[in-house]
Amino acid sequence: MTPILYVKAGCPYCKAAIDYLDQRSIPYEPVDVRGSDSKMKKLQELSGQSKTPTMDWNGEVLADFGTDELEEFLKDKVSS
């Protein structure tokens, strides 16, 4: 399963997460929740909140994070 990255257009933390993943060639599916009630509802069900970025990696969820937290979260998920 490809990890899902829930984002909001214009969010600087989301852009930083996208840049981090792209620079390391880590595949993910971006899902913009802004303007979509169903996508926002899915994000809230998954993480218990509506903040982005939020990543769902095969059922493991990292919500409302910065790149430092993302790096730690990915340590055991991707090989360097």
pLDDT in tens, 4-15: 999 999 999 999
pLDDT in tens, 26-77: 999 999 999 999 999 999 999 999 999 999 999 999 999 999 999 999 998 9
Q: Copy the structure tokens of residue 25.
A: 């060639």
43 by Cβ neighbours in 10 Å (0-12 / 13-18 / 19+) ranks as buried
Please check whether residue 74 is in contact with residue 26, taking contact to mean a CB–CB distance below 8 angstroms: yes
Kindly report whether the global pTM for this prediction surpasses the value 0.95.
no
Domains in the chain, CATH or no CATH each: 1-50 (3.40.30.10)
69 by Cβ neighbours in 10 Å (0-12 / 13-18 / 19+) ranks as middle
